[in-house]
Structure 1
Amino acid sequence: MAPLWVQELHFPHLNIPINIDSMVSVVPSGPTPGAPGKTLYLSNLDDMIGARVFTPTIYFYPSKSDYHKPVMSTLRRALSSVLVPYYPLSGRLRETQNGKLEVFFGPEQGALMVEAHTEMSLADLGDLAVPNPAWTPLIFRFQNEEPYKILDMPLLIAQVTLFSCGGFSIGLRLCHCICDGLGAMQFISAWAATAKAGRLITKPEPCWDREFFQPRDPPLVKFPHIEFMRIDDGSSLTTSLWQAKPIQKCYRIGHEFQAWLKTVGQQDKMSTCTTFDAMAAHIWRSWVKALDVKPLDYELRLTFSVNARPKLKNRALKDGFYGNVVCVACATSTVSELVYGSLSQTTKSVREARVGVSEEYLRSTVDYVEVNRPRKLEFGGKLTITQWTRFSIYESADFGWGRPSYAGPIDLTPTPQVCVFLPEGEADRGGSGTITMVVCICLPESAAHKFTELLCLMGSTEGKTANALKQ
């Protein structure tokens, strides 16, 4: 039987009634350098406009007969312990001169933990492998909270929701200014290990050291940094997407399909591309075609984050650094090139943007933010892809009740020009080293069927070749 290469995933439309039982501020259990009146420097990588958000994630834990520890008190005690070495997460953000952010410590500090319950069981939620916007009540938001509000907010907000079956969820909101994806995994791993062991465990020891990325004096911007530039949206893309109230679509992508795309993506004998290069190119082309973007000569952008840690050749970061060490790579292409060009051409463009992120590019990014300090997220003619497949999101989150049955984001529709590549919880790695992934993307309902066909290569020459190889 031929392997299932691409499978559309469906999630039920639900109403999850939640009762909030308590809200408590969790402060470090011992002394820290974060005394009232103290401040901490944030680098310009922490302070980029794209980092001024909370990253919401959800973790589900089914009921098990060997549960012995009370959930809320265990998690709260462990968080209080881990906030000693990770004390910056108990502070708040404020703006200083020229709008730059810093962490400060005042009378109101601490992370926020919320305890809630619902009469529903986890089984009522359906397939927990598929991110569902209906899970939104499981992540706490303040009443009338403004979008993108980060100033004077707890930097970690955790809602623990107990289900009638005995299972529970942990809904997290972690401020992106404090850590990138790898840094978040380091913190969550420490919190989980501490909860599981009943004593503080931090491996590696966390390191702040944000001064490592201080701007040069004077700043030296060596690249155009089109990823930050405002572009007047002369295409139909952004308007049609936002006005249509887009829906979230999810697809399971098998490792055989990823490997095949990678082979097709480098057919022009260019330097070896990665699975991400080919997948990103295929998603971008399919999305633009499905949206029927006009005019054809308009230049579109694809942006994605690149982990810059391996790029640091002159001086390495200290072990345990959990701040932002990412640059935003940007590929550009006209609508016509995406619609009528080859997959290998688009893959080459994505690859060039990715490998263009160097140590000098990172330093130039720091200096660009210092000089310009962008204040607004730009969406014009752009798709942003976020790759979570290399995060140890399942392995890091065993708090003593086993790995979560699902770990990841919930709802992309508030930012419909973002696509996420997720690892699948129980997926096995293929022989090619790739892993089954779940792709989540937003589209107007009118374009969803066409996108599915394009993603699956239905009716295309490439699709016929792929089907022949599957037999």
Structure 2
Amino acid sequence: MDSCIKELHFSYLHIPVTINNKFLVHPSSPTPANQSPNHSLYLSNLDDIIGARVFTPSVYFYRSSGNQLENRESLVMKRLRDALGEVLVPYYPLSGRLREVENGKLEVFFGEELGALMVSAKSSMGLADLGDLTVPNPAWLPLIYQDPEEEAYKILDMPLLIAQVTFFTCGGFSLGIRLCHCICDGFGAMQFLASWAATTKTGQLIADPEPVWDREVFKPRNPPMVKYPHYEYLPIEERSNLTNSLWETKPLQKCYRISKEFQCLVKSIAQGQDSSLVCSSFEAMAAHIWRSWVKALDVKPLEYNLRLTFSVNVRTKLETLKLKKGFYGNVVCLACAMSTVDSVMNDSLSKTTRLVQEARVRVTEDYLRSTLDYVEVKRPKKLEFGGKLMITQWTRFEMYETADFGWGKPVYAGPIDLRPTPQVCVLLPQGGVESGGDQSMVVCLCLPPSAVHNFTRFLSLNDYT
């Protein structure tokens, strides 16, 4: 089993970074925002939900493509900046800012001094000094710009796109991006980044598909009709030891490379235990990770209700609501599976997998409409972590294919640090220039030091075989 699942390790290091320059990038030609001093844009309740009121950070590493380092930094910055200015014409909402209007609802507004923020930085290290560039490392945080005075979770009056380019002594560089989740979901972000990359690479604007705003298609019903309980947003009192285990200790970020063969094995175990179960690899792996995590943390009491949440892309499930090609807003709903600690730890993998599958199947267009109405009525103000593990699936995104800005595919593309939200598990594609089409995935999550050994053992199926 060792060849199918491998614990990955990253270097604990300090990366010295010097900020050279900060500047705003504006659309290179007039946009609808220039036609009216009071121009604003509607955000749907999927854009405006509490879980979207964050910046999603990611980093992309690029090796040096030649020996000519002279003027490379100014050339890279100019090409990225010019291309961003071009792309911000069709994607002009990213040059705006967010503000709250009636009832705390968000909207995008514009003004003369707005734009996306770009940062030029330099490090005295080379890419080779950073260790394994295929494993997300919290030490990379200096490669993503955050103002020292910035409040946690601040999104109002902030640039909606913040991009830091950090140059290393070897001629390689990183592109650290913070993108406001209110403007787009993962698929929308990939659409925007693909446009920016293609425009940088070719020197001419490429926006295919043409971006579409159209957030009004997701307006709530009048009157609202909340038809489902939406446990994913309900507060649940934390009566277990989860909070103490994860938040009050110093959790470690751990990553595991899971081969395609191992994913198929987990799926076959789940389906072998129940001949009527036909599931996806994701459903089986999500159940297996949840079970391994709960067992490793030794969650108590056994009768406490746990929740597993994960995002479901509803684009393919829309029947009456029609989205134009190029729509880049949030079209995801949270699915929620619930079970007691005892059941998660002791039920068969097939039974837990079925819970995950049923949660996913419940997310339909009707469920999306109910979510829109629920937010309209309740407008949740804080994220609920009680008894919850949240799985975020980045394996569906073509992060490597879309991020060739003219300097080749990135060595790594993805998140950095999960520790600020230690109840999040991220599934990443095994990508990059060295992957060779490897269909493995990387599972990243946070664990207290005392739980690492047991989690690794359970994840490796050592309690099934």
* Cα deviations by residue, 1:87-106 (Å, 9 ceiling, x for unpaired): 00000000000000000012
Q: Which residue of 1 aligns with 2:66?
A: 65
Name the structure 2 match of 1:436. 440
1:315 is matched with 321
2:17 aligned partner:
18
Residues 7, 253 of structure 1: 8 Å contact kept: yes
**2:354 aligned partner:** 348
Separation in 2, partners of 1:269, 1:159: 51
- CA separation in 1, counterparts of 2:201 and 2:158? 28
Answer whether contact 2:97 2:159 (CA < 8 A) is retained: yes
Instruction: Mark the CA change 1:279 to 1:55 in structure 2 (over 3 Å): closer, same or farther.
Output: same
One-letter amino acid matched to 1:197: T
- For residues 43-86 of structure 1, the C-alpha deviation after alignment (integer angstroms, 9 at most, x for no partner) is 00000100000000000000111879611111000000000000
Runs of 4+ in 1 over 2 A off after TM superposition: 66-69, 426-430
- RMSD between aligned residues: 1.3
Ranges in structure 1 where 5+ consecutive residues have no aligned partner: 465-471
State whether structure 2 residue 255 is matched by structure 1 residue 250: yes
Q: Which residue of 2 aligns with 1:469?
A: none
Q: Structure 1 counterpart of 2:342, which letter?
A: S
Query: Does residue 1:336 correspond to 2:368, yes or no?
Result: no
Corresponding residue of 1:361: 367
Amino acid at match of 2:402: S
Q: 2:310·2:392 contact (CA, 8 Å) conserved in 1? A: yes
**Distance (Å, rounded) in 2 between the aligned partners of 1:323 and 1:59:** 23
- SS of 1:185's equivalent in the other structure is helix
Q: For the residues of structure 1 that align with 2:447 and 2:436, how far apart are their CA atoms? A: 29
The alignment status of 1:7 with 2:6, answered yes or no, reads yes
1:179 corresponds in structure 2 to 184
Q: 1:445 aligns with which of 437, 443, 449?
A: 449
What is the TM-score when the length of structure 2 is the normalising length? 0.96
CA distance in 1, matches of 2:250, 2:389: 16
Letter aligned with residue 268 of structure 1: D
Matched, 1:241 2:246: yes
Q: 1:324 aligns with which of 316, 322, 330?
A: 330
**SS of residue matched to 2:41:** strand
The 5-angstrom pairing of residues 137-156 of structure 1 reads 137-156=142-161
Alignment partner for residue 235 of structure 2, among 230, 233, 240? Answer: 230
Given that residues 277 and 350 in structure 2 are in contact (C-alpha distance below 8 angstroms), is that contact kept between their aligned partners in structure 1? no
Q: Which residue of 2 aligns with 1:87?
A: 92
Secondary structure at the residue paired with 1:14? coil
Offset of 1:269 from its aligned partner? 2.4
Q: 1:213 aligns with which of 218, 228, 251?
A: 218
How far did 1:239 drift? 2.2
Instruction: Indicate conservation of the 8 Å contact 2:165/2:174, yes or no.
Output: yes
CA contact (8 A) 2:217 2:321 kept: no
Query: Which residue in the other structure is 1:160 paired with?
Result: 165
Preserved CA contact (<8 Å) 1:427 1:436: no
Preserved CA contact (<8 Å) 1:270 1:348:
no
Residue type matched to 1:5 in 2? C
Deviation at 1:270, TM superposition (A): 3.1
2:134 to 115, 129, 134: 129
Q: Percent identity?
A: 66
Gaps of 5+ in 2: none
Q: Report the Cα distance in structure 2 between the residues aligned to 1:238 and 1:258, rounded to whole angstroms.
A: 29
1:222/1:66 CA distance change after superposition, 3 Å: farther
Name 2:33's counterpart in structure 1.
34
Query: 2:55 maps to what in 1?
Result: 54
Amino acid at match of 2:199: T
Amino acid at match of 2:60: Y
State the TM-score, normalizing by the size of structure 1.
Answer: 0.95
